Amino acid sequence: MAASLTPEQYLEALFETDETLDRVKEGIRANNMPEISIAAGYGRLLTMLVRISGARDVLEIGALGGYSGICLARGLPQDGKLVSLELKQDYADLARKHVREAGFEGKVEYRIGEALDSLKALDAEGRRFDMFFIDADKGNYPNYLEWAIKLARPGALILGDNLLMRGKAMNSEEKGNAVTKMRQFTEAMARDPRLEGVLLPAYDGLAIARVREY
């Protein structure tokens, strides 16, 4: 009888424990925040993509407890910076604490409030980015994608978490706003002519797209 491990569990067990990220998860739990940080395997992918793309300016939408922020910061060069947008002050405070404990305090700037307001402000300031990680309210994913394309340097990478929404996105009987908008986002990541996309079905689904240079 084969052990009933998922493919993700089998592969995840091959890695050494990551004490920094384990502490982040403990902090999230201790503060009664939702335990929905990005999957460990995708966290490693974030670090690798920042590193191999040479991204200097990274934008994250949705900080939660700082787990993905640390993964992104780990891949940045010496002069690289992460801007992290978070709706809730208490989440941003915990994320900042975790980022400081991980040694990346000087690399991360938090902006608190509605992400759509922060995106507008970043545009007004002329800020542009090499990589985006979208992991916030699912009903706004198509809006966040449009902003990411607007704020992208040519060739920038755009990533989005939770394409599958625990399987809801694949169930045609699910017709709620968040699921509908997530399907719209996923389709754009696959087919928008401005993008070159890849969709990964592991964990809860991750989209990666490169903004075409034209």
CA separation for the pair 184, 213 (Å, rounded): 23
Interaction of residue 60 with ligand DHB, rule CB under 6 A:
no
**Which range in 13-21, 51-59, 159-167, 191-199 contacts ligand DHB by CB under 6 A?**
159-167
CB nearer ligand DHB, residue 80 or residue 160: 160
Amino acid 210 reads: R
Exactly one of 46, 161, 195, 207 binds ligand DHB (CB under 6 A); that residue is: 161
Alpha helices in 37-139 (DSSP H): 40-53, 67-74, 89-101, 115-124
State phi, psi for 98 to the nearest 5 degrees. -65, -40
Contacting Mg ion within 119-148 (CB under 5 A): 135
Site mask for ligand DHB (CB under 6 A), range 35-54, x = bound: -x------------------
What does 166 interact with, of ligand DHB, Mg ion, none (CB < 5 to 8 A by kind)?
Answer: ligand DHB
Contacting ligand DHB within 169-208 (CB under 6 A): 204
Which tokens is 138 given?
A: 């699912």
CA separation for the pair 75, 52 (Å, rounded): 8
Pairing relation of β-strands 81-86 and 57-61?
Answer: parallel
The DSSP 8-state label assigned to residue 136 in this structure reads S
CA separation for the pair 74, 200 (Å, rounded): 22
The DSSP 8-state label assigned to residue 128 in this structure reads -
Interaction of residue 166 with ligand DHB, rule CB under 6 A:
yes
Interaction of residue 68 with ligand DHB, rule CB under 6 A:
no
**HSE-up of 75 (CA within 13 Å, CB side)?**
23
Interaction of residue 162 with ligand DHB, rule CB under 6 A:
yes
**Which range in 94-102, 141-149, 158-166, 172-180 contacts ligand DHB by CB under 6 A?**
158-166
CB nearer ligand DHB, residue 34 or residue 54: 34
Query: What's the closest the beta carbon of residue 62 comes to ligand DHB, in angstroms?
Result: 7
Amino acid 206 reads: L
Q: Give contact residues for ligand DHB (rule: CB under 6 A).
A: 36, 135, 161-162, 166, 204
Query: Which residues form the interface with Mg ion (CB under 5 A)?
Result: 135, 161-162
